[in-house]
Structure 1
């Protein structure tokens, strides 16, 4: 039943270990858009985050990232994170060719991973959080 409700659009999960500096760059690219990738076109197309909070400013030209925090503290450049992006392959192509930030797991579908996790019976769901402030 969970499999029928979760991510029916074949999203893949791409994972990577990165620094705080790389995390902020990645978040900026997904909020502001990047060459060869997805460009948010309205509030509903902005990315959803888990584990971090972001502040985004709406401008006449789109969106600008102004702050990234974790547990209420500013993300520092030398912090270390494991990041997982849930996306369709065409929105990750630019990142998959980047030599500095290497995402893995293109064949890992979110639906299959989540269904397996929930089916184990030990799933602990996080409390909802305010992940984005849009100004």
Structure 2
């Protein structure tokens, strides 16, 4: 691999990492916004008065649309970069998946708060 291909691979990995870092925040924002819209429309959180479960659809549909838009954007950007680089497709996709999934898992793990740090901080106050 020459220097130009390595630059394209790093640029593409940077794009993937930025999108992976931003995605959980966008997803959470979409879920919170959808809950607010569902609340404003008079839906109960979970079930309506007849016991039909349609609030979760109202909540996760916008978040899923944002997910698909981000994935399409990532594929578009990486396709443009890949068109300029002379790399094997397998290695290119592997690097992108490792970077994207690695940072996504890291951010999601941090947001999940597995050690209950926020609970400990609230208990101290």
Q: For the pair shown, which has the larger CA radius of gyration, 1 or 2?
A: 2
Q: TM-score range by the shorter chain?
A: under 0.3
Q: TM-score, normalised by structure 2?
A: 0.22
The structure richer in helix per residue is 2
Q: TM-score, normalised by structure 1?
A: 0.21
The structure richer in strand per residue is 1
